[in-house]
Amino acid sequence: MIMFQGKVPPPTFATPRFTLDGDEALEKHLARICQLVHARVLIDIVPRRKLEAILLGGGYGRGEGGVLRTPEGDRPYNDMEFYVLVRGSVWLNERRYGAQLHALARQLSRVAGVEVEFKVLSLARLRRRAVTMFSYDLIMGHRWVYGHDGLLTGCEHHRRARDIPLHEATRLLMNRCSGLLFALERLQRPVFTADDADFVGRNLAKARLALGDTVLAATGRYHWSCRERERQLMLLGWSEWGSWPWLAGVLQEHRRGVEFKLHPHRSTASAGEMRAEWETVSTLAGRLWLWLENRQLARSFASPMEYVASSADKCPETPSWRNRLVNALHFGPAAFWAPGASRYPRVRLLHALPLLLWEPATRFDAGIQSNLRRELRTSAATFPDFVQAYALLWERFR
């Protein structure tokens, strides 16, 4: 049971809705979680003089949260992502309050029935940082748990989707293709469980959505609402159908992704059935990957192998001096002067992922495997071990 150490008037959440069509019980359940967050953070964790705001982001913050239909009624499905804005250094505030927020997240996850997450931010950081897909989504679509719209003065630049840089589209596609990689590892296990089917189904849906979202972000047409993104993608299709032969497939898969996002379900398909779906989505993602990176890096990569072999810096947006510091911090002081230290560590993921996903020779070619071991800093020899090493690096630099 969650206990309170003081009294704070609970916020009211009459409007807007968390979902498009969830039943009243689900709406009240989600509002109750927000009330618990408001009370616990304000009373037990962050002093009032330090707390600037609490925002609910993600699908429920935008009013497009997933509704899982069950015989017992509607249930939440998506994570609940809360952003706690605290005055002062984000790094110091994370150290001060991060452990307590993490403990609260574990408690509330049990109450909510879905994963609850907290992330520490500050208004000052939002105001000075350039727009990203994350900041655009948060500023354009959120729900106030504590605070008001006037606090976002100075954050207007985060409302301009056309200013989202191309490398943000690459990052989105990399993360969703990472989900495809983790799904592939499960599909190859000797025993395929119901939990595996649900995991693969969720990651296929996220990848489907990302196919269209990547195209829109790369062309300055991204929108915070998944329904509006579907409409924008259709409009783009009329003008670019002949130029991009893969666009029809992207539009079809994106539509399925939107439907799953709004009305998710737990898949009961077999590994064989899901492998066929995986192949379709993965093939489209591979074609889109090359299109996007050719666009971002002004190159002409004909294959994933050619992309990986290129000496082009895949993360040109980060300065080399900072990259050396990041490498030294995460891999030890010797990494400061190591070959490749002037590149941001995410480049390792951008090199490993195409090999693991789209190059079948990876499993047999000793040279490719040696390259993978170097990029992932691992001694792995089997596909599951390579995926595990990739996942560890991905958790740091996604």
CATH class of 162-298: mainly alpha
Residue 240 pLDDT: 67
Q: Which residues pair with 55 in a beta bridge?
A: 83, 144
Residue 361 pLDDT: 72
Residue 3 pLDDT: 40
Q: Which CATH number fits domain 24-159: 3.30.460.10, 3.40.640.10, 3.20.20.70, 3.40.50.12280?
A: 3.30.460.10
Residue 241 pLDDT: 63
For β-strands 51-56 and 80-86, DSSP reports them as antiparallel
Residue 12 pLDDT: 46
Residue limits of CATH 3.30.460.10 in the chain:
24-159
Residue limits of CATH 1.20.120 in the chain:
162-298
Nearest to 201 by CA among 272, 261, 266, 259: 266
Query: Environment class of residue 183 by beta-carbon count within 10 Å: exposed (0-12), middle (13-18) or buried (19+)?
Result: buried
Residue 87 pLDDT: 97
Please list the rounded mean pLDDT of every run of 10 residues in the chain (398 residues). Answer: 44 71 97 97 95 97 96 95 97 97 98 97 96 96 96 96 96 97 96 96 97 96 95 82 84 96 94 96 97 94 92 91 91 87 93 93 80 92 94 95
Q: Where are the beta strands (DSSP E) in the chain?
A: 51-56, 67-70, 73-76, 80-86, 116-121, 143-146
Residue 15 pLDDT: 56
